[in-house]
Amino acid sequence: MTAPTTSINTVIPDQKKVGMVSLGCPKALVDSERILTRLRADGYAMSPDYAGADVVLVNTCGFLDSAKEESLAAIGEAIVENGRVIVTGCMGEEADAIRAAHPQVLAITGAHQYEQVVEAVHTHAPPSQGPFVDLIPQPAGLKQRSDSPDNYVKLTPRHYSYLKISEGCNHSCAFCIIPQLRGKLASRRVDAVLREAEKLVAAGTRELLVISQDTSAYGVDIRHEEREWKGRAVRAHMTDLARELSQLRTPDGEQPWVRLHYVYPYPHVDAVIPLMAEGLLTPYLDIPFQHASPKVLKAMKRPANEAKVLERLKSWREICPEIAIRSSFVVGFPGETEDDFRYLLDWLEEAQLDRVGAFRFEPVEGAQANILPDPVPEAVKEERYARIMEVTERISAAKLAAKVGKVIPVIIDEVGEPDEDGDVGATGRSQADAPEIDGAVYLRNVPASLRPGDLATVVIEDADAHDLYGVIDSAQ
């Protein structure tokens, strides 16, 4: 189970406890944080295990069939271990399938239906707050995540936070059902986003990870409306938001890392590259290319100007040589031929992306791709998956090897215990590494004073296909 990193110190008689299992993407993790924040405001405590929970929430993922299977397994485990289970999240849209597998489930709600989840918890585990507790002012809860971070339940470590700027998506990709699960693009007010970011940084966040379904489209649905922020008008637009986030400072005056995820390569993305070159944004872009073959991209209903993308990648690297580009690709999409796949491999050789994830195509109930002709046999998918991973690992290994001997900034995620010789190791990430999805930097013999969230200057001593190894620069 995912346990919140904050706790309630006030002892309330017969206080009900809620457990949470959070599956899927970072956007779903933010939903889990919002739900738990509201429940804590309503007098509930958080349970780190099944045994201590009066009710368990399972926030599901429904993007792929394999994710649905994982969600059903997690629901089943929660039922066995606890018995009182409420389901929410993307797979909540398939209530009949959930109840067919697990009829014992108490209630089911869909993605980001916060109020319905809270109502279900109130129904099946009514808060026993004790006398006089209702007279105590409670936090406002879910309406804005920008409430005081002291009242906010975080499921990530203190030093990094996900900043969700919008919900939903306006694309109609053939392999995806996100618009059906989460609706069309719905952007948050820019002043609300900036207020939340400011409070998170004030509370100890050293790295902000900007997330949405389509970060580049932020504000399109509200016509890039302007809001006043710090005495000036700011548009709800990715470039304006990035520029404002670059002005944030921690309580000790340091500039937090600001990392952009789910960035579609629209023309205006070019405007954020100079900010990275100036050190105002983390030099990192997460761009979901999905494929390179024009034929496959057309079948996917995605932009297919791959030649221009290569030109832009070259231009971005000329402006900001340190920029790291991560992406994901689907192999075995219906109709993908060997020529299409070779085209993708050749494109990757030229693009030289820093971080790459690959996925075998899976039919998703309700997706347009399911009716496309010429499905790729499973054995061919596996063979192509192995080939693309071999190419991308080789590229990654060469890029990381080039960093040996360099001095780079690293954010510390974890500090170990002393070994038999008294040496302490630590794990961190470079600016090219997002948490949980990219590589790590492993440090030896770090000072005992080092803490998670610290920024260290590190000399890289070694590398493999995914990770770096080094020591803190003695000169810092």
pLDDT tens per residue, range 91-127: 888 899 999 999 999 999 988 788 899 999 999 998 8
Residues 111 and 181: beta-carbon distance below 8 Å: yes
Rounded Cα–Cα distance for residues 435 and 160 (Å): 9
**Biggest CA-to-CA distance, the chain:** 72
Residue 302 pLDDT: 82
pLDDT of residue 128: 66
Structural domains of the chain, ranges and CATH numbers in brackets: 17-131 (3.40.50.12160), 154-401 (3.80.30.20), 407-472 (2.40.50.140)
Mean pLDDT of 42-71: 88
Buried b vs exposed e over 296-335: b needs ≥16 C-beta within 10 Å?
bbebbebbbebeebeebbeebeeebeebbbbbebbbbbbb
The answer to whether residue 294 scores a pLDDT higher than 70 is: yes
Q: Is the pLDDT assigned to residue 181 strictly greater than 90?
A: no
pLDDT at residue 306, as a whole number = 65
- Give yes or no for a contact between 434 and 284, defined as CB atoms under 8 angstroms apart: yes
Taking 50 as the threshold, does the pLDDT of residue 140 lie above it? Answer: no
Q: What number of other Cβ atoms are within 10 A of residue 91's Cβ?
A: 28
| Beta strand extents in 175-256 (DSSP E only) | 186-187, 207-211, 226-229, 232-235
Distance separating alpha carbons of residues 256 and 160, to the nearest angstrom: 9
Instruction: Tell me the CA distances in angstroms from 209 to 111, 182, 281, 321, 454, one per residue in order.
Output: 21, 20, 11, 21, 17
Query: Is 135's pLDDT higher than 80?
Result: no
Of 306, 328, 467, 313, residue with least CA distance to 388: 328
pTM: 0.81
pLDDT band at residue 273 using 50, 70 and 90 as cut-offs: very high
- Look at 152-161, 211-220, 464-473 and tell me which has the smallest mean pLDDT: 152-161
Confidence of residue 132 (pLDDT cuts 50, 70, 90): very low
Give residue 418's pLDDT: 86
Over its C-alpha atoms, the chain yields an Rg (Å, rounded) of: 23
Count Cβ atoms below 10 Å from residue 243 Cβ, excluding itself.
16
What interhelical angle do 306-319 and 338-351 show, nearest 10?
A: 10
Is residue 379 predicted with pLDDT exceeding 80?
A: yes
- 396-447 confidence digits (pLDDT tens): 999 999 999 999 999 999 999 888 888 999 999 999 999 999 999 999 999 9
Q: 14: phi > 0 → left, psi -120 to 50 → alpha, else beta; which?
A: left
**Is the pLDDT confidence value at 236 over 80?**
yes
DSSP letter, residue 93: G
User: Does 150 have pLDDT greater than 70?
Assistant: no
End-to-end CA distance of the chain: 39
Over residues 343-360, the mean pLDDT reads 96
Q: Give the lowest-confidence range in 54-63, 110-119, 452-461.
A: 110-119
